[in-house]
């Protein structure tokens, strides 16, 4: 027994509509012998005669009417699929404007972009500090922002935590603290630090230090590659958020800080409570990427 085919079902439908194989052939642009061949193949697939042949034309048998009913369903569904695909091609490209702080732009956001790029035509990216990104969301210049600070949120803003990441100390492999699983802030008091600013309160050092000591910032470097290069050369230590662990170069040892404040929350901010499809698609991808990153960090720090 053969198989039903789309071409064969289309021929069956047209022959039943016209009551004539020759008229069906003319309407479909086929030869009459091609139509007869398709009808024969469909009768072979059905295991039944589908048409009664008469001198003035053809008429569907009971088996033919069964096949015709299902042919209408199949061909109608294919027609709907074609219409939806044509409408999809006619839609304007979907653009989602995404902002993130530097380490999220290096590790978290690229994974979400890769997961959603086939569904979104354009994903312009903007890197910046959390306050600037939140301001851009408030002014409608960004659709989504990945941030670590959540002050001055717009009234209609929604915020969703993605992950709580530990702050880690990065040192060279031959550093005196290398090999430790964790250290207390007191054990770090004699360290020379590499930070993005001389203002300690504006750096990750400010998360867990207290008023009894002031960290010695030996080098100021805003670029992460510069910081890590200095660390690898043994010129000091720096604080690294766990979100950056998967993209760190080799030759860097990581140590946990044993302090409750040595944790940073990464969140996604957007305006409005509606579930806009492109935005929601990207946020779901961010959730998945954050979960994967958290697993990778736990494995690295074992």
Whole-number mean pLDDT of the chain?
A: 87
Write the pLDDT tens digit of every residue in 260-297.
888 989 999 998 765 567 888 899 999 999 999 888 88
Q: Which carries the bigger pLDDT value, residue 72 or residue 201?
A: 72
Distance of CA 298 to the CA centre of its chain: 22
Shared-domain flag, residues 72 and 213: no
Q: What percent of the chain has pLDDT over 90?
A: 35
Average pLDDT of the segment spanning 30-55: 90
Residue-level pLDDT at 210:
73
Count the domains in the chain.
Answer: 3
Domain that holds residue 60: 6-90
Residue-level pLDDT at 276:
60
Please tell me what DSSP assigns to residue 249: P
Shared-domain flag, residues 241 and 119: no
Shared-domain flag, residues 146 and 206: no
Shared-domain flag, residues 25 and 77: yes
Instruction: Quote the strand ranges of the chain, DSSP E.
Output: 51-54, 57-60, 98-100, 125-127, 144-147, 157-171, 182-183, 192-195, 216-220, 238-241, 253-257, 263-271
Write the pLDDT tens digit of every residue in 99-112.
999 889 988 999 99
Domain contains 1:
no
What is the spatial distance between Cα 20 and Cα 25, in angstroms, rounded to a whole number? Answer: 9
Write the pLDDT tens digit of every residue in 70-90.
988 998 888 888 887 776 666
290, 163 Cβ separation under 8 angstroms: yes
Reduce the DSSP state of residue 267 to 3 states and report it. Answer: strand
Instruction: Kindly report the number of other CB atoms within 10 A of residue 26's CB atom.
Output: 15
The whole-model pTM stands at 0.65
Shared-domain flag, residues 152 and 279: yes
Domain contains 196:
yes
List Cβ neighbours of 203 (8 Å cut-off, separation of 6 or more).
Answer: 195, 196, 197, 239
Domain contains 235:
yes
Q: Which carries the bigger pLDDT value, residue 279 or residue 1?
A: 279
Residue-level pLDDT at 109:
94
Shared-domain flag, residues 25 and 149: no
């Amino acid at each position: 027994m053969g198989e039903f085919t789309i071409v064969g079902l289309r021929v069956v439908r047209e022959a039943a509509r016209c009551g004539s194989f020759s008229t069906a052939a003319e309407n479909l642009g086929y030869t009459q012998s091609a139509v007869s061949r398709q009808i024969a193949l469909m009768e072979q697939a059905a295991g039944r005669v589908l048409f009664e042949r008469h001198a003035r034309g053809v008429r569907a048998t009971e088996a033919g009417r069964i096949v015709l009913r299902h042919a209408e369903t199949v061909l109608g569904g294919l027609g709907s699929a074609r219409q939806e695909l044509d409408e999809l091609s006619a839609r304007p490209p979907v653009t989602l404007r995404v902002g993130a702080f530097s380490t999220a732009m290096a590790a978290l956001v690229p994974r979400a972009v890769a997961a959603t790029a086939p569904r979104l035509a354009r994903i312009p990216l903007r890197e910046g500090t959390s306050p600037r990104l939140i301001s851009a969301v408030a002014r409608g210049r960004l659709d989504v922002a990945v941030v670590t600070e959540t002050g001055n949120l717009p009234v209609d803003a929604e915020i969703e935590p993605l992950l709580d990441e530990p702050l880690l100390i990065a040192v060279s492999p031959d550093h005196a603290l290398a090999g430790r699983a964790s250290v207390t802030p007191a054990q770090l008091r004699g360290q020379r630090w590499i930070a993005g600013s001389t203002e300690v309160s504006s750096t990750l050092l400010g998360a867990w230090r207290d008023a009894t000591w002031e960290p010695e910032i030996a080098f100021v470097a805003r670029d992460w590659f510069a910081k890590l290069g200095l660390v690898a050369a043994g010129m000091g230590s720096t604080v690294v958020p766990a979100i950056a662990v998967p993209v760190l170069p080799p030759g860097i040892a990581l140590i946990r800080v044993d302090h409750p404040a040595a944790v940073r929350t990464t969140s996604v901010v957007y305006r409005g409570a509606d579930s806009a499809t492109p935005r929601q698609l990207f946020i779901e991808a961010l959730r998945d990427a954050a979960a994967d990153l958290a697993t990778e960090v736990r494995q690295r720090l074992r």
